[in-house]
Amino acid sequence: MQVEVSAEYAVMVTERVLNASNIIEAIIRGPATDKLFAIMRYCNLLVCMCSHVRACRSVSDSVC
Specify whether 24 is located in the same domain as 37.
no
pLDDT beyond 70 at 59:
no
- Domain span at residue 21 reads 1-30
Kindly report, residue by residue over 8-54, the tens digit of the pLDDT.
999 999 999 999 999 999 988 999 999 999 998 998 888 888 887 88
Specify whether 37 is located in the same domain as 63.
yes
Specify whether 36 is located in the same domain as 61.
yes
pLDDT at res. 46: 86
pLDDT at res. 35: 92
Query: Rounded distance, CA 36 to CA 63, Å?
Result: 41
- Mean pLDDT, range 50-60, rounded to an integer: 78
Specify whether 18 is located in the same domain as 38.
no
State how far the alpha carbon of 16 is from the alpha carbons of 11, 22, 58, in Å. Answer: 8, 8, 52
What is the SS3 assignment for the chain? CHHHHHHHHHHHHHHHCCCHHHHHHHHHHCCCHHHHHHHHHHHHHHHHHHHHHHHHHHHHHHHC
